[in-house]
Amino acid sequence: MNMPDAQTFASWMDPTQWQAWLPKTDALPAGFPGMDLLRDAGATVRPEVLETLKNEYLAELGALWQGLLSGQAPALKDRRFSSAAWTGNPVTAFNAAAYLLNAKFLVAMADAVEASAQQKQKIRFAVQQLVDAMSPANFLATNPEAQQMILDTNGESLTRGLKNMLADMQKGHISLSDEKAFEVGRNLATTPGQVVFENPLFQLIQYAPATPNVKQRPLLMVPPCINKYYILDLQPENSLVRYAVEQGNTVFLVSWRNPDASLANTSWDDYTEQGVIQAIRVVQEIGKEPKLNLLGFCVGGTLLSTALAVLAARGEQPAASLTLLTTFLDFADTGVLSVFVDEQQVALREQTLAKGGMMSGRDLASTFSSLRPNDLVWNYVQSNYLKGNDPAAFDLLYWNSDSTNLPGPMFCWYLRNTYLENSLKHPGRLTVAGEQVDLSKIDAPAFIYGSREDHIVPWVSAYGSMSILNPGKPEANRFVLGASGHIAGVINSPAKNKRSYWINDGTSDDGAAPADADAWSAGATEQPGSWWPQWAAFLAEHGGKDVKARAKLGSARYKPVEAAPGRYVKEKAE
């Protein structure tokens, strides 16, 4: 793909010419977020702003041309163009620099559109998708690294690349990892345990103790149903499940079924009542304890909090403590995901799925990949297809490609009532499982974790749970901020001794953390390594006394069904 010249780009700065350019975006899916807004954007950009952008662009492009004519290669600070194949040749360096310049001003033009914050985010997202797709690194004709590899390998890299592409077309997704290197139950999800209960919606795993004594109160983990549970139990050295077991906890975990047509009518109420609440009941009976330590991750935390509010309305308080990892309770700021949620898009989903159907795991995976296209799409197009490389073995990316479906009614309820209308945080606005939901009625100390670079649950939104839970005794809540993103920030084992986290022990006179996330951050201190020991100490504080570990798993009523990881986690999305 050749980059446009100065005259072409200058014409883009003219609002009357945008329609001439926009038909080139027909390769995008119908209804792509922001495209309708982008088509109207020219009328809402101030002419003086466009004139300024045009003049700045022409000046910078002129400087690039002067450098090319004098034989000087421009500096390239983008890692996509860091190799000598790009920087060592003035022509290829100019091509990359021209792309970066055009990308810079296209994004600036999108930012200049006068619109609401949500509209502007949609416009910027659409433009960024186009900009990332147009990179000269994505095409064999303009990628000197890939061309050199063809010469160096006598064409073998091209043959391997075509083979990789055809294989991925059959699988229906781009291979991010060496998928032959991993198998769930063999070298992933290997913490010893037994499935002690199952229904059509989930299996409940009880893990074998690793210490002679355990805490009196069991720990129940509720992972997201949008992904498979073994993100919490990858390999032994980075397994949060194994770590919790080794800290002296009796650990139970919900393994959600990968829904098929038999679950096409399953609702949010079903996931709450037949899923989370049922799991709590079984763990209470097996553990012979009315109070449990409870953990929810991402949408698993949203489901868990909903279930606890339902139980509170029934006069039950089963939580000795509540841990929420990268979880939304307040959906006021959903970050970049908001580009996929508006009344029109939600109504369309409801029209097709609300009365029964399936939200495809492949579509969900594509949506999440589009949030980081250079990292999760184009990087692998370049490496796997253009250069003919085989992807490396990476457990987290293997998990990322192991997608799950969602029942249509449950998915539509979730979109409308949380992302679109933000009703969950408002006491009594929603009725779930026959009860009015009031999260403030949950009576349990809370450990709330956010990841600083999280693009799915912005950490400020995770911090919002601090004012929703325990409003009468905010000193019961604790917030920890981890480095990195939505997944890598959570899966940060002490064994790796990587990254860092932030805590703020400078609470107010009443013991409460600041109500404002920025105020909390201003007083926080950075600590090296993993935040897991902070969580382990919190669990120990609320785990009760030490008791002798039981060798037999399950109970007389709930006998082991099969060894962990069980059947459900191995089911692939249709």
Residues carrying an active site annotation: 298
Q: Which residue type does 299 have? A: V
Mean pLDDT, rounded, of the chain? 90
Q: Which helix (H) or strand (E) is 358 found in, with range?
A: strand 358-359
- In this model, does residue 9 exceed pLDDT 50? no
Residue 194: Cβ-neighbour burial (10 angstroms; 0-12, 13-18, 19+): buried
Residue with tokens 């198998």: 183
- In the chain, the N- to C-terminal Cα span, in Å, equals 35
Q: How confident is the model at residue 407 (pLDDT cuts 50, 70, 90)?
A: very high
Q: Which residue type does 338 have? A: S
Give residue 229's pLDDT: 98
Tell me the pLDDT tens digit for each residue of 71-89: 787 889 999 999 999 998 8
Mean pLDDT is lowest, of 23-37, 109-123, 222-236, 536-550, for 23-37
Instruction: Give the Cα separation of 64 and 62 in Å (integer).
Output: 5
Q: Which residue type does 507 have? A: T
Between these two residues, 289 and 25, which has the higher pLDDT value? Answer: 289
Give residue 115's pLDDT: 81
- In this model, does residue 1 exceed pLDDT 70? no
Tokens representing 87 are 């920087």
Residue with tokens 């004709």: 141
Instruction: Give the Cα separation of 10 and 21 in Å (integer).
Output: 12
Mean pLDDT is lowest, of 30-34, 154-158, 444-448, for 30-34
For range 189-218, the mean pLDDT: 98
Instruction: Give the Cα separation of 124 and 122 in Å (integer).
Output: 5
Tell me the pLDDT tens digit for each residue of 348-357: 999 999 999 9
Instruction: Give 270-275's long-range contacts (Cβ < 8 A, gap of 24+).
Output: 270/201, 270/410, 271/201, 271/225, 271/303, 271/410, 272/303, 272/306, 272/307, 272/310, 272/432, 272/433, 273/307, 273/310, 273/433, 274/199, 274/200, 274/201, 275/201, 275/202, 275/225, 275/303, 275/307
Query: Domains, the chain, ranges and CATH?
Result: 6-152 (no CATH), 155-182+361-394 (no CATH), 193-358+405-570 (3.40.50.1820)
Residue with tokens 């139980």: 311
**Which range scores top for mean pLDDT: 90-104, 166-180, 391-405, 427-441?**
427-441
Q: Which regions of 79-121 does DSSP assign to beta strands (E)? A: none
* List of residues 6+ apart from 387 with CB closer than 8 A: 145, 146, 149, 157, 161
Between these two residues, 117 and 323, which has the higher pLDDT value? Answer: 323
Residue 440: Cβ-neighbour burial (10 angstroms; 0-12, 13-18, 19+): middle
- In this model, does residue 5 exceed pLDDT 60? no
Give residue 510's pLDDT: 60
Instruction: Give the Cα separation of 278 and 92 in Å (integer).
Output: 61
Closest CA to 361 of 221, 171, 139, 525: 171
Q: How confident is the model at residue 2 (pLDDT cuts 50, 70, 90)?
A: very low
Mean pLDDT is lowest, of 115-119, 171-175, 482-486, for 115-119
Instruction: Give the Cα separation of 567 and 574 in Å (integer).
Output: 16
Handedness of CA 420, 421, 424, 426 (dihedral sign): positive
Q: Which helix (H) or strand (E) is 546 found in, with range?
A: strand 546-548
Closest CA to 403 of 549, 241, 227: 227
Mean pLDDT is lowest, of 150-159, 464-473, 503-512, for 503-512
503 and 525 in contact (C-beta within 8 Å)? Answer: yes
